[in-house]
Amino acid sequence: MDALSALAPFLQLGAGGLLSLGILMILTGRLVPGGTVERLLSARDERIAELKAVLASEQDRNCRQADQITALLESGRTTAHALEEIRKVAADQGPGGVS
C-alpha cells in the first residue's frame, strides 16, 4: 500500500501527464534502458580492473626500484670510504710519495 501512496501525486496528473513525465525523464537522461546501464556498468568494472592491474605493476616496480637504490647507496658508501682512505694515505706520504 505504501507504493500506491507514493504514486499519489502522479496519479493526479492523469495518463497524459504521466506520459509527458516519462518522455521528459527519457530526454533528460533520468530514465535509461537496462541494456545501456549494464553496458556502462561493465565498462566501469573493466576500467577498475585495468586500473587495479596498473596499480599492482606500479607497486612492484616501486619495490624493485627501492631495492636498486639501496644497492647503489651501499656501493656509493663503499666507494666514498675507499676514496677517503686513499686520500688519507696520499696525504700521509707527502708530496714526493715517500714517507
Task: Give tens-digit pLDDT for 47-65.
Answer: 999 999 999 999 999 999 9
Strand ranges (E), the chain: none
Looking at the fold, whether 43 and 12 belong to one and the same domain comes out as no
Looking at the fold, whether 19 and 49 belong to one and the same domain comes out as no
The domain of 17 spans: 1-31
Residue 72 has a pLDDT of 94
Q: For residue 3, is pLDDT > 60?
A: no
Q: How confident is the model at residue 2 (pLDDT cuts 50, 70, 90)?
A: low
Looking at the fold, whether 56 and 90 belong to one and the same domain comes out as yes
Looking at the fold, whether 44 and 67 belong to one and the same domain comes out as yes
Query: Which residues neighbour 25 within 8 Å (Cβ) at sequence distance 6 or greater?
Result: 31
Query: Side chain identity at 68, as an amino acid letter?
Result: Q
Is the overall model pTM greater than 0.85, yes or no? Answer: no
Residue 49 domain-assigned? Answer: yes
Residue 99 domain-assigned? Answer: no
Q: For residue 74, is pLDDT > 80?
A: yes
Residue 28 has a pLDDT of 86
Concatenated DSSP letters of 37-94: HHHHHHHHHHHHHHHHHHHHHHHHHHHHHHHHHHHHHHHHHHHHHHHHHHHHHHHHH-
Compare 39 and 27 and report the one with higher pLDDT. 39
Looking at the fold, whether 21 and 56 belong to one and the same domain comes out as no
Q: How confident is the model at residue 6 (pLDDT cuts 50, 70, 90)?
A: low
Residue 88 domain-assigned? Answer: yes
